[in-house]
Chains A and B, each alone.
Chain A
Amino acid sequence: MKITKKIITKIEGEATLKLHKNQNIIEFAEIEFWQYRGIEDFLKNRHYNDASVINPRVCGICGHSHLIATAEVIENALKIKITKKAKILREITVGLEIIQNHIKWFYLTLFPSIKDIDYFKALEFSRDIAKIIALIAGQFPHNSYAIAGGITSDLTNLEIIKIKNFLLKMFERYQEIMNIEGYSKDLEILFEDIPKNIGKSLNKFLVLGNNLFFRANGEIKFVNEEKTSSFNKNALYNDKFYEVGPLARNLKNPLINKIYEEHKDSVYTRIFARLYEVNLIFEYLIKEIDKIDINEKNFIKPRNKNGKGKISIEAPRGSLIHEIEIENEKIKKYNIIVPTQFNLANGNKQNLSPAQAALINEDEKYADFIFKCFDICAICVSH
C-alpha cells in the first residue's frame, strides 16, 4: 500500500487529500483542511446586527446564504416574523446566488480540471445574475440588506418589472447551458472521456432547509459536530454521514430521479442535479415574484433582546446551519455548520463520509474530479 499526499486547489481555497492506494486503486482517503479564520469568535459581544456584515465575509461565493441564514437565526432567537414581501425578495436573492455559484463551479472549477473551455461566457452569465441580486440588495458580493426584521431596501414596481424581465431573459439564456428537457451540450462534452458511473457514494441524503421549493427530510436537532485531526469539524446526523446538496434536495424531481435510477449517486448524477437545479430555481423565482405586494412593509423593528436560535437553509452546496445565543442584544455564542462539513468530512474506515466513500475503489486518476464534483467550499470550512 502506498499513501500519496496532494493539495487540491481552486476549490474556494484548498484541501489536503491523502490517498491510500493499492496500485492505482484508492483504498482509503483522508481529507484535511489546514486553514482557520475564527469568524465565530469575532462575533462575540457584538450587537446581533453586526453579524449581517461579518457573516457574508465567511465566503465570497456563497456569502449571501450566510447573510440570509444570519437574519433568520436572529429572527428565530428573538421570535420575529417578517412580511411575505421581505421573505420573497430574500428567496430571490438567495436563489440567484445558488445559480451564479453553479455556473462558476461548472465552468471555472470542474470543467477546466478535465479540458479547456471558454469560461468567459460563464463569467458573463454569473455577472448578469449578480446584477439582479444588486438591484434588490445593493451589491454582490457582500451586501447586508437582510437584517433581523426584514430587509433594508424599499423597491418600487419599476425595479420589480426590471427584475422579472431580467429573470425571464436569463432563464432563456440558460437553455443554451442546460435546457428544461435536461440536455446540455457542455455536459456531454465533459463526459466524452470520463465514465459516468464513477464516484458512487453512500446513497444517503439529507435536507435540512425549507427555503425555495426545498423540503427538509430531517431535523437540525439531530446534527452533531466532531473534531478531526485537522481544522475541519465533521458534521454528522445521528452520528452518521449523509450527502447534502443539489442531488439530495432534488431527488424527487422526475427528471433528476430518472438519471439517478440509471446512474445512482455517481459523479454524473451529482453534476446533472446541480446544473438542472438552475432551471427549477428560475421557474420558481419567476412565479414567486408575481406574489409580491409592493405595499407591504419591508422591515419590522425587533422588540425582544434575548433568545437562542438554530436554523438551516439550503445554500448552494447543501444544508447550512447557523446557531446563536443573544443576551441583551449582544451575541454571546455563534456557531456555523457548512454543507462541506457533511460532504467532505474526514471519517474512518468504518464510518466513511460521502466524499471518502465516492473515492474508494476508484482509479487515482479520477480522484481530483470525483472530489470536485461535490462542489467543495474550503473557505467556508475554515470559517
Chain B
Amino acid sequence: MKFRDSLTAGQTGYKRRFRRLQSSPGYTRYVEKNGRVAVEISDLEKVYGEGRAAVRALKGISLEFPAGEFAAIMGPSGSGKSTLLHILGALDRPSSGKVVVGGQDLSGLSDRKLTLLRRERMGFVFQFFNLIPTLSAEENILLPALIAGEKAAKYAGRLDELLDLVGLQNRRTHRPDELSGGEQQRVAIARALVRNPDIVLADEPTGNLDSKTGDGILALLRESANRYEQTIIMVSHDARAAGSADRVIFLADGRVVDEARGLEPDEILERVKTLESTS
C-alpha cells in the first residue's frame, strides 16, 4: 500500500493535465484494469514510400492485448514486428486501420496528443538502452517525470522502490558509461516504470545482452507485469525471451501467422524456423 500512496502523490499534477484525455469516449482506466483490453488494433496497415517503391510492412493486422498480459511478438527480420511495435507505442502512425489504447482511438490525434499519451500511458525499453550519457542512473530513471513537468522530489519514494526492484541502489549516482550493459538495461526498465504506465513496450530488450543477463532482465519484466498489473509487449528474436511471455504472437511478411500460449523456448524456436523457411 505504501507504493500506491507514493504513486498517487506523484500523480496529482498528471491528473490535472490528463483530464482532457480521460474525458474522451470509452475511456475508463478502472475497467481496463479489471480484465479488459489494454490495446486493441484492427486491420492495421503500414506502407512505406510511394508508387513503385512502396513497401507494405503491415498487411492488415488485428490483435487484442488484455490488461496485465506479457506478450511477445516474434518473427523473422522484415516481418514487420518493429513497425508494429512503433505503432503500438504511438511512435508512428498506421497507413490505415485502428489503434485503440485504453479505449482511446489514436487515429486523428495530433502529434501533441500522441506525445502526451506516450508520456502518461506508455513506458519504453530499447535494445540499445538509450540512456542519456550526461545523466546519472537515478536522473535517467526520473527523466520521464521531469519531461512531464513533475518535481523530482515527489518521486523520491518511487525512485527508491524502483532502485530496489532493479537492484541498483548502490549504483544510483553512476553515469551510463560506468555501468555494465545489464545494469544499463535495468536502469532503462526502471525508467520505463517510473510513472507507472499502463503499457510497457520493449524492443529487443535482451538483444544486446548475454543470455544470463538477459534472463535477469526478462524476470524483471515478468515481475513488474505481475506486480504492477502492466501490459508488456515485447518484440524479440530470442526464443528464450519469448518463452517467458504469456503469449507469443508470430508475424511473417506483415501478417499474424500464429499465436500460442505457454510454449517452451524449443517449440518457439521450431516455429520461427518454419516461418523463416516458408517466407
**Is this pair of chains taken from one and the same complex?**
no
Residues of B within 8 A of A (CB): none
Residues of A within 8 A of B (CB): none
